[in-house]
Structure 1
Amino acid sequence: MPDLQAHLHALEVALQTKEVRSSRARLLEILAPDFREFGRSGRSYGLAEILAGLTTEVTVAKTAIEDFTISLLSEEILLATYRGIRFNDDGIELRTNRSSIWRLEKDGRWRMVFHQGTPAA
């Protein structure tokens, strides 16, 4: 399972990069067609809103991931949890508890089907 944890950690990190966020093709490799997100703001987003928003971002904030863990829920479903840290232009850290549900697709790729961000206390 360490290899799978490293692989999914790499995908979560990739989703924070300008290279992936600006590429519809790369996002579609990682996000499932039925993807849904409950954002840190409390808003709900489907795949279409995520693609429209991310691919038009002008800047991408500096981020970090800590305490990344995965839990297998079944052979094809797993839960990833971590603390996300976003650094604003003033150097202030914005911490968010994050969880993602990943599904092993028929093509052998793990794709994210759900993501939630909750402000950390």
Structure 2
Amino acid sequence: MELQGIAEHIKQRELELLQTNWRANPALINDWLSADFEEIGNDGKISQRVDVVNWLLNKDNAIRWSLTDFRIKALTDGLIVAVYFAKKCNDPSSTSKGSIRTSIWQHQGNHWKMVFHQATKRLET
């Protein structure tokens, strides 16, 4: 798969991670997140895979997200970094300007799996 195709695939996976009801089939999370996955949240807290899985299973599935300025860069063969802006679209209680997101994806077996993710609050207007 060429880089543009990989970018579209990874963007779709990022969006689905945020918007899928994982309670319906929690075992699928294993196809998306690497066993050694970790995350740095927009509060600076480092979360292990188990914490992120718990969030995915209990998040508000009605929230929709927009991903803009999405781009990827190949780090090595089978390892890419994705960078984009994320913002909640339909959460009237949110005053957030969104966040800058960075994810590292690795091709493992037949799947692209996220091995690392970081969110940074977007401060500009």
TM-score in same-fold range (> 0.5): yes
Q: Is the 8 A contact 1:22 1:57 kept in 2?
A: no
Offset at residue 58 of structure 1 (A): 4.5
Per-residue Cα deviation, 1:62-86 (whole angstroms, up to 9, x for no partner): 2110000000000021100000012
State TM-score, norm by structure 2.
0.85
Gaps of at least 5 residues in structure 2 are none
Per-residue Cα deviation, 1:25-46 (whole angstroms, up to 9, x for no partner): 2221100000000011211111
1:3 alignment counterpart: 5
Gaps of at least 5 residues in structure 1 are none
- AA aligned to 2:118 is Q
State TM-score, norm by structure 1.
0.88
Indicate which of 31, 40, 55 corresponds to 1:38. Answer: 40
| Matched residue count | 120
Distance (whole Å) between structure 2 residues aligned to residue 100 and residue 33 of structure 1: 15
Question: RMSD of aligned C-alpha atoms?
Answer: 1.9
Offset at residue 112 of structure 1 (A): 0.2
Q: Percent sequence identity over matched residues?
A: 24
> Residues 28 and 60 (structure 1 numbering): CA distance in 2 closer, same or farther, change over 3 Å?
farther
1:61 alignment counterpart: 63
